[in-house]
A and B are shown apart, each in its own frame.
Chain A
């Protein structure tokens, strides 16, 4: 059975989010008709909480909660799926200048997968770094649909996918309860665990999915001088 997961989200464990996990899950339950996801992956900034156990909340809401991490490298931000103790010993996740190539290769060797996120974003995305440095090797996939992107950023991410043949994922990058699961990734196969997720990201078939509602048009800006002249 296909599985839809929001692969990028931040709960209150991240310093710039105030969203409790339970409120995320409750919000998805209320909005399931428009955001039909099977679960979310928590990708807290620069940390990994190996001990956290969300089974009670998963059961209460009938949703999957998987754990990953968003770390910061010399090629921008990277989502790390399948984090193990070995990885957190090998890399200081709080270091904002990790070596991206080393991270990608070592995470793969230790059984996980590292996916550069919002590659079209200035400074913290691959696109800008590729303009100045050689492209990274062994990149499996990048995030081309990010709920926090500004205009044009996801288009630049798409360019990388076309140019380098990367696979594409989507995630909300939500820091607010009401923005959870607006962007996600649809897997052709059944994903039930973090191991399934890593396997599918490496070898499976998947695509980003966008659940953002179409917005009603807002009146365009009227310059001050025109307004003052009654125009």
Chain B
């Protein structure tokens, strides 16, 4: 549910979860659109030639999914994503269902700033990507 204003936000609020089935075609399309045609982002054979067990998604794509989680939550409230930090802990592999979610962890009322934990999990609840976001309200 998108938020409407800073007053409607509480520490502990959840973002998502968004369940995203990430296909190989989507990953290839992202990589091509962004000029990242490394073999590891194209197919399993290319990834194996680079010493990986199979095709992976670019870190930037994970960052994009986390950014989207936050901007979906912001909706048309007029707030903006001011900062996003990501750590890629494990490769994100296509042909899996990812769960993208977050928690509001801190509100700085003076700065009208909200701090958020975000992450991407696989089906085994392993956190592949973790991050934090700062959202500023007008």
Contact = CB atoms under 8 A, between A and B. Distances in A.
A53 B90 CA distance: 35
A163 B117 CA distance: 38
Contact of B119 (A19, A22, A176, A218): A176
B126 A178 contact: no
Contacts of B24: 224
Nearest to B106: A23
Interface band, chain B:
20 to 34
Contact of B123 (A23, A30, A176, A220): A220
A223 B95 contact: yes
A151 interface: yes
Nearest to A180: B105
B119 A151 contact: no
Interface stretch (B29-37, B45-53, B57-65, B96-104): B96-104
Given A23-B106, A30-B11, A215-B125, A178 B19 contact: no
Nearest to A223: B95
Which residue among A18, A219, A223, A224 has the maximum number of chain B CB atoms within 10 Å of its CB?
A18
A224 B43 CA distance: 12
Contact of A176 (B19, B124, B130): B130
B125 A176 contact: no
Q: Is the interface of A mostly helix, strand, loop or mixed?
A: loop
Contacts of B103: 177-178
Contact of A151 (B25, B96, B124): B124
B2 interface: no
B53 to A, nearest CB: 14
Given A27-B105, A30-B12, A224 B117 contact: no
Interface of A: 16, 18-20, 22-23, 26-27, 30-31, 150-151, 175-179, 215, 218-224, 227
**Closest A-B pairs by Cβ, 5 of them:** A177-B105, A178-B103, A23-B106, A178-B117, A176-B117
17 contacts: A16-B87, A18-B132, A19-B132, A23-B105, A23-B115, A26-B11, A27-B11, A30-B11, A30-B12, A150-B126, A151-B124, A176-B105, A176-B117, A177-B103, A177-B115, A215-B125, A224-B25
